[in-house]
Amino acid sequence: MAALDKAQGDSDTVADDFTDPLEMRPGYQLKRAAAAAMSDLNERLAVLDLRQVDASVMLMIDAIPNVIASHIGRVLDIKSANMVPLLRRLEERRLIEKVPLDGKSHGLHLTAEGDVLLVEARAILDQFEIDLMERIPFQHREHLAPALRAIWHSVD
């Protein structure tokens, strides 16, 4: 038994002394930070039975009258195959509705229920943004958004 305890102790020591070889890589840091932030946001939105992508789509629909699904997909980088079930889910919850624009296109609108839920979602999103920025040292806050945009737009 002592040998087992010793072996267990050794593995704990190894785990405690472990250094993440990727920790200093900016791409890895960005991935970990984004995953942590999105996990936090999704937990907060779960009280409304929404995910971050649902809230993003609803914000786009609210901001652009008669927006079509393909435009939302392009802006939010959502594949067409993923847009269909996403929009269906929002329609089934009576949060959005399709309105015919011409012979083949449909514009999207929030329903009254969608408007009400979006007010609640915006409050959660606003508080999330405040809390997120508070995690960042003050002297780095003004540089964060421009740095992220520079990375994001250089890939497009």
Alpha-carbon distances, residue 54 vs 46, 51, 112, 117, 124 (angstroms) = 11, 5, 16, 11, 13
Domain map (residue ranges) of the chain: 30-136
Contacts 24+ apart (CB under 8 A), 71-80: 72/108, 78/53
pLDDT tens track for 18-72: 788 888 899 999 999 999 999 999 999 999 999 999 999 999 999 998 999 999 9
Give the fold, CATH level 3, of 30-136: Arc Repressor Mutant, subunit A (1.10.10)
> Which of residues 17 and 135 earns the better pLDDT score?
135
pLDDT tens track for 76-112: 999 999 999 999 999 999 999 999 998 788 999 999 9
Alpha-carbon distances, residue 17 vs 10, 24, 54, 122, 131 (angstroms) = 11, 17, 41, 42, 31
| pLDDT at residue 14 in the model | 53
> Which of residues 4 and 23 earns the better pLDDT score?
23
Dist. CA 82–CA 40, nearest whole Å: 23
